[in-house]
Amino acid sequence: MKFSKFLMMGFLPLFALTGCNNTPSENKDETMFLSFEEGYNDLNSAVLINYFGKASLNTVPEFVKEGKCSALLQPTGVYGVNRKPLIYFPLSSNLYNFNKGDITKYDSVSFAIYNASDRKIEGATGFVSDVVSVYKVGTTKIGEMTLLPRQWNEFTFTIDHAYCNLFFNIQEAPGLYFEFENMNVKDPSFAPSLYLDAVSFKNAATPHVIHDDFVLEENEICDFEKDFQQYFLACNNYFEDALKFKITDDVDGIKASHGKKFLCIDVKAGSVAWADWSSTFLTERYMSRTKIASLDLEEEASQYRFEYDIRFVGTPNSDNNRVVTRFMTRGETKSTLVVPCIDESKPLDQENIVAPENEWCTMGFTFCKNYTFAGQNYCLDTNFTGVNTGKMEFSIGDLEYDYKILIDNIKLVKIA
């Protein structure tokens, strides 16, 4: 399944900085990206994220697919953290004088990995869609891989340019990544040894031309009717599988409040200690292309109310039928929580912020308006609009039992 996501928390790269000085010959049908024959350049530009472990140069012939060198990858991960170790290689570099980031010129990507361990290992590859910091990148997956033990595993993945274009400028792709399952070890010597080699792109006969299919209705944030919208949803879970989501047209006979499709969030009961604020969110890339990103001025933003339809199914305690909306600035440098309400003309008391059981209810808030609830002030100001627009989360604090939250018709409403 294709999807785009963000990865964070890692260490700076650990590399062996040597070279093989055996540059492969040119092939007009392909563009060689990583041969590791000039090991210093290929490895020193790479970035390791999510406790990856170690990447170094290998010259043992048994573990070289082409030429005299390959990259030895030792993905570690870390125990108890639900993240997968990832390494990515920038597709352009001023320091090393190369630029291969225009993926409209390529049809597919190919590579080989030797799995020197005695077990099967799962992984994925794709393009880095956004570099937020040295510790965090957005990713757009193009393929999954199963590495069989004690053999070379060769892969070719066709590039879906229309899909990739939803997430980043396909003429300036930031990088190519490889991600592996979390090995739950700290020391690279206890991690599996994976040898990466012969990473190349198949050249296209002519560059791919893609039209932008990202089109929203006026004032729409997300109505879940468009196929591409499924790719911009993700979850932050504070324990495994706390939340799962799907876009659907029916949940136990319940239909959409608007149109035909809606978002269903399945909430899984978990330990009370971990029950504070898991979330389902629309990504930064998506939100930056909505009307919110054009609301630069406070007087303009204050003319709009943010609204969505919500319905709770299967909650034994209807007093907890509420979510909190969190907005982030680009790069998640700042965030604010907003408590949505049913009727802005009434106080923000428990009755006004709790949705009724088993019926659709419209909730929301006005930009740049101060709200006070439980002694705290809430205001979504213009620090979160315009060029600063980041991701938007529906944060859910009550994970003590299984239930469903249905969300539909997220939009801006112009205030008369």
How far, in Å, CA of 250 to CA of 205, rounded? 44
In this structure, CATH architecture of domain 4-203: Sandwich (2.60)
- C-beta of residue 34 within 8 angstroms of C-beta of residue 89: yes
Where do we find the tokens 């030429």?
67
In tens, the pLDDT along 324-370 reads: 898 988 877 788 888 899 998 888 888 899 998 889 999 999 988 88
Q: Is 49 helix (H, G, I), strand (E, B) or coil?
A: strand
Q: Are strands 92-93 and 121-133 parallel, antiparallel or unpaired?
A: unpaired
Answer whether 4-203 and 220-414 agree in fold: yes
Whole-model pTM: value is 0.70
DSSP 329-370: EGGGS-EEEE--BS-TTS---HHHHSPPBTS-EEEEEETT--
pLDDT at 82: 65
> What is the chain's alpha carbon radius of gyration, rounded to the nearest angstrom?
24
Tokens representing 236 are 């932050």
Instruction: Tell me which residue of 43, 48, 9 sits closest to 191, measured CA to CA.
Output: 48
Q: To the nearest 10°, the Cα dihedral for 362, 363, 368, 369?
A: 110
How far, in Å, CA of 371 to CA of 345, rounded? 11
DSSP 373-416: ETTEEE---GGGSGGGEEEEEEEE---SS-EEEEEEEEEEEE--
Q: pLDDT under 50 in the chain at which residues?
A: 1, 6-18, 24, 271-275
Count of C-beta atoms within a 10 Å radius of residue 134: 13
Instruction: Tell me which residue of 183, 182, 406, 396 sits closest to 270, measured CA to CA.
Output: 396
pLDDT at 16: 44
Q: Output b/e per residue, 151-168; b: 16+ Cβ within 10 A.
A: eebebebebebebbbbbb
pLDDT at 19: 54
pLDDT at 22: 52
Where do we find the tokens 């260490």?
11
Where do we find the tokens 């690279």?
188
How far, in Å, CA of 282 to CA of 394, rounded? 9
Number of H helices, E strands in the chain: 5, 27
Specify the DSSP class assigned to residue 23: P
pLDDT at 376: 78
pLDDT at 80: 64
**Distances 369 to 102, 239, 379, 413 between C-alpha atoms, Å:** 44, 34, 6, 15
The listed CATH number (2.60.20.30, 2.60.120.430, 3.40.50.2300, 3.40.50.20) that belongs to domain 220-414: 2.60.120.430
Tokens representing 9 are 């928390």
**Could you state, in order of their start, the residue ranges of all structural domains in the chain?**
4-203, 220-414
Where do we find the tokens 């206890």?
190
In tens, the pLDDT along 5-24 reads: 544 444 434 444 445 655 54
